Structure 1
Amino acid sequence: MFKEITDVFNWLSNAGVFAFLMVLIPTVYKLVKPLLTRKVQTEKNTHVKQGLEVGLNLANTIVPEMAVMAGLSLSDRKKEAIRFVNAQLTANGFDLDVQTISGLVEKAYQAYKAAGGDNHFSPVTPAPSETDTDSSASENTNKPSETVSQAGSTTEKSDVNA
């Protein structure tokens, strides 16, 4: 009989430990899960931030190189810059979508352009035409006219009304 009583106490003791573990494990999981989730999210954010920084540095490097390639159209230059940045990011273990990389390339181009490095559209200075000089001479018929030679050494004045 004594053995039966000790067996019952052992069973209750084992059941108590089992019940305690059944309550302890979910409680610990509920307390630790938010901490682990926040840690994983922080690591992901840090990785994405590093990817964006590396991508922008790569874009800042390739945009000036692409800007001087006269054989490529503007859209081809941008496509090549995006392709280069994407390839380099992938090689370094970063995975950004094409829209994000396109934005980084555009940001680098705008910074390059703001720094005065944009050479796509060179300013065109129109040459003076003959019609401009003829119209100004006809407007001044009552005033003395001046003729300056091409070398700039002789000047001739005449009075039109004389």
Structure 2
Amino acid sequence: MFSNITDVFNWLNNVGVFAFLMVLIPAVYNLVKPILTHKVQTEKNAHVKQGLEVGLNLANTIVPEMAVMAGLSLSDRKKEAIRFVNSQLTANGFDLDIQTISGLVEKAYQAYKVAGGDNHAPVVTPAPTEVITPSEGTDSND
């Protein structure tokens, strides 16, 4: 198998390098994996946070536009606002689920309503009341 002692040492040297690499690679992987996982998670969280901020800004933009559309029912207004926000988020590379987008639209609507911009309730004009003046209903010739 081995023709001389040099071949034996070369073989042992190669086996030693191979064994060293077999130990080193998993050790480095185990050290680097948590760092990489944390980095990926941080990037993902930042992307989701940015998507939520963009979604809320879009919802804050579309809610006042939908609120003045008297021809749409309340549910149609909300559906249209959700559709708008979803399409704009998708066009900008964000992928949020419909429940999240619905929540953003609802949050924007509640803020709009608190600010006094809600016009869903019909405007009620008070009926004129009759005011009896002293000259009416009294007999001044008594």
Q: 2:35 corresponds to which residue?
A: 35
State the 1:72 CA deviation. Answer: 0.1
State the 1:126 CA deviation. Answer: 4.0
Of structures 1 and 2, the one scoring higher in RCO (CA 8 A, sep 6+) is 2
State the 1:17 CA deviation. Answer: 0.4
Normalized per residue, which structure has more strand?
1
Task: State how many pairs are aligned.
Answer: 140
Paired AA for residue 105 in structure 2: V
The 5 Å alignment of 1:87-126 reads 87-126=87-126
Q: Which runs of 5+ in 2 are unaligned?
A: none
State the 1:156 CA deviation. Answer: 6.7
Residue 55 (str. 1) matches residue 55 (str. 2): yes
Q: Which runs of 5+ in 1 are unaligned?
A: 134-146
Q: 2:20 corresponds to which residue?
A: 20
- TM-score, normalized by length of structure 2? 0.90
State the 1:125 CA deviation. Answer: 4.2
Residue 148 (str. 1) matches residue 133 (str. 2): yes
Larger radius of gyration, structure 1 or 2? Answer: 1
Paired AA for residue 148 in structure 1: T
**CA RMSD, Structure 1 to Structure 2 (Å):** 2.3
Q: Distance in 2 between matches of 1:17 and 1:156?
A: 118
Q: Percent identity among equivalent residues?
A: 81
Q: Distance in 1 between matches of 2:136 and 2:80?
A: 58
Paired AA for residue 51 in structure 2: G
State the 1:129 CA deviation. Answer: 6.8
State the 1:114 CA deviation. Answer: 0.4
Q: 2:72 corresponds to which residue?
A: 72
SS in 1 for 2:121: coil
- TM-score, normalized by length of structure 1? 0.79
Residue 158 (str. 1) matches residue 139 (str. 2): yes
Residue 8 (str. 1) matches residue 11 (str. 2): no
State the 1:148 CA deviation. Answer: 1.8
Q: Distance in 2 between matches of 1:125 and 1:119?
A: 14
